[in-house]
């Protein structure tokens, strides 16, 4: 939930001139050229487009801590390609038609909004999680004194607590710090984040493999049903959340730059 707009804000300043112009062209006027303002749009339209729900996540075999597109990218009915990695590939392909006559068969505004959201989703470790608990959605926990589920802890609670503790409940200051880390502390790693092998435009399989590894190493680790997650969990997991936010933002910008030139 909060992961997407925070990561989306890290994108704007990394777009090439051509990519920035295409994004402005495709965004609805009410967005005022601000892509991050609509990075949660795909969550908002799940009830309008129920077919899209399966595109937000990947279910992997319990305890395996590994991802395979051929094995795991399918919906609950077994339809191949219907997962967040498949959705990223699909909407990337649609956006590659921008400026061509074939673009008329697609709604490229929706393609941009779906792609931006799904690149955020695939970087949240529990959007690539175990099948039996639906990526932590059925694991009841307490986030300090509040009831939550493990998935929501990673989608929102950790970020909200960081805002409250360090940024006066202001997401803008959080984004400034994240951006400074991208250009400072993590700057030497950024080129490797942006790379995409085999001349691909987007590399969702890499992002998914990273996320299930992070889910096993950090999200699931030490958590049982009805666990109370407090300072020790928060302080040790926040760096992982920040890193995935940064990687998602950098990689979305890199993908849009490759799409639009």
Over residues 130-187, the pLDDT tens digits come to 999 999 999 999 999 999 999 999 999 999 999 999 988 677 888 888 989 999 999 9
- Residue-wise pLDDT for 216-254, tens only, equals 999 999 999 999 999 999 999 999 999 999 999 999 999
Range scoring the smallest mean pLDDT among 51-55, 143-147, 194-198: 194-198
Range scoring the smallest mean pLDDT among 72-76, 113-117, 178-182: 178-182
Q: What percent of the chain has pLDDT over 70?
A: 95
User: Crossing angle, helix 84-95 and helix 231-260, to 10 degrees?
Assistant: 30
Q: How does residue 6 score in pLDDT terms, banded at 50, 70 and 90? A: low
Q: Domain residue spans in the chain?
A: 2-260
Task: Supply the pLDDT for residue 96.
Answer: 96
Q: pTM to 2 decimals? A: 0.95
Task: Supply the pLDDT for residue 127.
Answer: 98
Task: Supply the pLDDT for residue 12.
Answer: 72
Average pLDDT, the chain: 93
Range scoring the smallest mean pLDDT among 3-17, 109-123, 196-210: 3-17
Rounded (5°) CA angle 121-87-37 = 50
Which among 150, 124, 154 has a CA at the least distance from the CA of 137?
Answer: 150
Q: Does position 104 have pLDDT exceeding 90, yes or no? A: no
Rounded (5°) CA angle 147-163-14 = 125
For 213, residues 6+ apart whose C-beta sits below 8 A from its C-beta are 65
Average pLDDT over residues 32-48: 93
Q: Give counts: helices (H), strands (E), the chain.
A: 12, 5
For 216, residues 6+ apart whose C-beta sits below 8 A from its C-beta are 65
At 234 the three-state DSSP class reads: helix
Task: Supply the pLDDT for residue 101.
Answer: 83
Q: Output phi, psi for 202, to 5 deg.
A: -135, 150
Residue recorded with tokens 């009410």: 30
Using CA atoms in the order 29, 120, 196, 213, what is the torsion angle rounded to 10 degrees? 180
Pairing, β 146-149 against β 140-143: antiparallel
Q: Given 3.10.450.710, 3.30.830.10, 1.10.575.10, 3.30.1380.10, which CATH number is that of 2-260?
A: 1.10.575.10
Q: Tell me the C-alpha distance between 20 and 260, whole Å.
A: 9
Neighbours of 231 (CB within 10 A): 10
> Strand pairing partners for 141?
148, 227
């Amino acid at each position: 939930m909060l992961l997407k707009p925070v990561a989306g804000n890290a994108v704007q300043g990394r777009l090439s001139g051509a990519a920035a112009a295409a994004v402005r062209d495709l965004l609805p006027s009410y967005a005022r050229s601000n892509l991050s303002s609509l990075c949660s749009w795909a969550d908002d339209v799940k009830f309008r487009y129920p077919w899209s729900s399966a595109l937000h996540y990947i279910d992997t075999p319990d305890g395996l801590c590994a991802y395979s597109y051929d094995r795991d990218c399918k919906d609950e009915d077994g339809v191949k390609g219907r997962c967040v990695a498949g959705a990223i590939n699909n909407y990337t392909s649609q956006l590659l038609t921008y400026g061509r006559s074939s673009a008329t068969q697609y709604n490229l505004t929706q393609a941009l909004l779906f792609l931006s959201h799904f690149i955020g989703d695939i970087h949240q470790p529990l959007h690539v999680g175990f099948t039996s608990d639906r990526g932590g959605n059925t694991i009841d926990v307490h986030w300090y004194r509040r009831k939550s589920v493990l998935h929501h802890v990673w989608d929102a609670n950790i970020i909200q607590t960081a805002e409250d503790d360090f940024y006066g409940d202001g997401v803008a200051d959080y984004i400034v710090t994240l951006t400074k880390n991208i250009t400072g502390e993590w700057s030497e790693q950024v080129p490797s984040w942006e790379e995409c092998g085999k001349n691909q435009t987007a590399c969702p399989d890499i992002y998914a493999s990273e996320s299930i590894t992070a889910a096993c190493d950090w999200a699931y680790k030490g958590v049982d049903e009805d666990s109370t997650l407090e300072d020790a969990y928060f302080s040790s997991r926040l760096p992982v959340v920040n890193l995935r936010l940064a990687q998602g933002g950098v990689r979305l910008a890199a993908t849009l730059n490759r799409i639009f030139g």
